[in-house]
Each structure stands twice: as C-alpha cells, then as structure tokens.
C-alpha cells in the first residue's frame, strides 16, 4: 500500500514549537519597527490577512519578506527546535511500515525548507519514499489537487492509497472526496478544524495511537 501521512500532529507535536517560532518573529518585528509585542503581532497578521485558507497562510517566508526581515523565519525555526517533540511511537510506526514494504509519502501543508528542518531534526526523512509539500502542489490539503498530485505521480489505483491525518478539514476531507481510505489521528493538542459541521466528514477509522493505525493498515493489506 501507499501510505500518505501528515507530519505535524501525526508524527511530531509542533503545538508549543509553532508558538515559540511565532513569538520569536514577533520580537524581531518589535525590535525592527520599535513597537510593542502586541503591535508587532498585529503587524504580522496584517501582512497575511488575505492568506487564510490558502497555501500562503503556512509560508512565513512571505510574511517576513513583506516585513523586510527575510531570514528571520528560518532563524526562528532553527533556534526553537528544542520545543519540537517527537510523538511517541512515530519511528516505530514508520519502521514497521517500511519493514512490511509499504511505500511512505510525507504530505504536509508546510513549505519544503520547514519540512526539511523538522524531519532532519529527528532523522525521519530516511523512512520516506517521497516528501510532498505545498511547494510541489501549489495548494494545501484542503484542496483535492494536493492528493491528486500524489496519485498522478505514483500512478496507482485509489484502492492502493491510505491517508493518515490529524485534521478533518485537511487530508481526511479531501481523501474521502477522492475515495481514499482515511485514518484520523485524534489528538487534543491538534484538534482544531474549520469544518462547521464535523459530522459530514467521517473518516474510515479513528484512532488515538499510531500503533492502532499500524494494525489497521496491516489488516487492510491482508484483506487485499
């Protein structure tokens, strides 16, 4: 099978990390423009006010370039890596899937350089046969074009794919639209969703642990 998995909220916990990254950027804005942190935060989000729901929303490069602090986005990520946490069982999960000869694709709304920073920090890149970002697809996972890009590239029937995500409004939503089997990873720290009526999006499976997701994939593969 071809397993398409998210990074943030599935393999790594970035909840505190992202907060620290943003606060670092806010402090740099505050220093550059000689303003309060509160005003710096407003300036930052004002720079991206038209990006919500679009791929640019996840690209701090654009915000920093607009605010003339181009290199700060990368600096912010590298200096706060100690706050990025590997979710328990992530490496065991990926290793088991590789041992079973499944193809693994990392699919993230993040930009390629940020994915590289995160995966290399935990040496996760070695497990993946492909890594797909918004830089490749020109969209994020709330658009079916993202998963269609992967399916077209790998040239396999829909029955061969399975999507693992922690958000109903991303890989689960578009996976269901395309007829791909889906596994929702339920995590409190990544429970945000922008779907007004959640009942309309029902994953094929919902689990709390990656070990449970592995058992489901193994069972599905045995069924053929």
CATH class of the structural domain 2-14+85-223: alpha beta
**62, 116 contact by CB (below 8 A):** no
pLDDT at 152: 97
Please, what is the Cα angle at 210 between 175 and 176, to 5 degrees? 10
pLDDT for position 22: 96
pLDDT of 209 higher than 80? yes
pLDDT value at 191 more than 50:
no
Query: In which element (H, E) is residue 10 found?
Result: none
Higher per-residue confidence, 222 vs 120: 120
Is 161 in contact with 4 (CB distance < 8 Å)? yes
Indicate if the pLDDT at residue 96 is higher than 50. Answer: yes
Q: If you average pLDDT over each of 2-11, 42-51, 56-65, 183-192, which comes out highest?
A: 2-11
Q: Which percentage of the chain shows pLDDT scores above 70?
A: 95
Which pLDDT value is given to residue 173? 93
List the chain domain ranges. 2-14+85-223, 15-82
Q: Is the pLDDT of residue 193 over 60?
A: no
Which among 164, 21, 20, 16 is positioned nearest to 89, based on CA atoms?
A: 164
Q: Enumerate residues 6+ apart whose C-beta is below 8 A from 113.
A: 61, 74
pLDDT in tens, 127-179: 999 999 999 999 999 999 999 999 999 999 999 999 999 999 889 999 999 99
Q: Sorting pLDDT into bands at 50, 70 and 90, what band is 10?
A: very high
The DSSP letter of residue 59 is -
């Amino acid at each position: 099978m071809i397993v398409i998995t998210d990074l943030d909220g599935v393999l790594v916990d970035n909840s505190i990390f992202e907060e620290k990254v943003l606060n670092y950027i806010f402090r740099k804005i505050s220093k550059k423009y000689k303003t309060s942190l509160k005003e710096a935060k407003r300036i930052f989000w004002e720079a991206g006010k038209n990006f919500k729901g679009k791929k640019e929303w996840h690209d701090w490069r654009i915000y920093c370039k607009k605010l003339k602090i181009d290199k700060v986005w990368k600096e912010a990520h590298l200096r706060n890596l100690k706050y990025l946490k590997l979710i328990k069982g992530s490496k065991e999960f990926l290793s088991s899937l590789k041992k079973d000869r499944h193809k693994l694709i990392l699919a993230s709304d993040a930009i390629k350089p940020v994915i590289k920073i995160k995966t290399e920090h935990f040496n996760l890149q070695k497990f993946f046969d492909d890594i797909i970002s918004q830089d490749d697809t020109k969209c994020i996972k709330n658009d079916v074009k993202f998963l269609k890009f992967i399916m077209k590239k790998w040239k396999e029937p829909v029955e061969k794919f399975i999507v693992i995500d922690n958000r109903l409004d991303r890989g689960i939503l578009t996976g269901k639209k395309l007829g791909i089997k889906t596994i929702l990873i339920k995590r409190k720290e990544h429970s945000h969703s922008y779907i007004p009526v959640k009942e309309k999006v029902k994953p094929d499976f919902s689990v709390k642990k990656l070990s449970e997701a592995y058992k489901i994939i193994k069972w599905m593969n045995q069924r053929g």
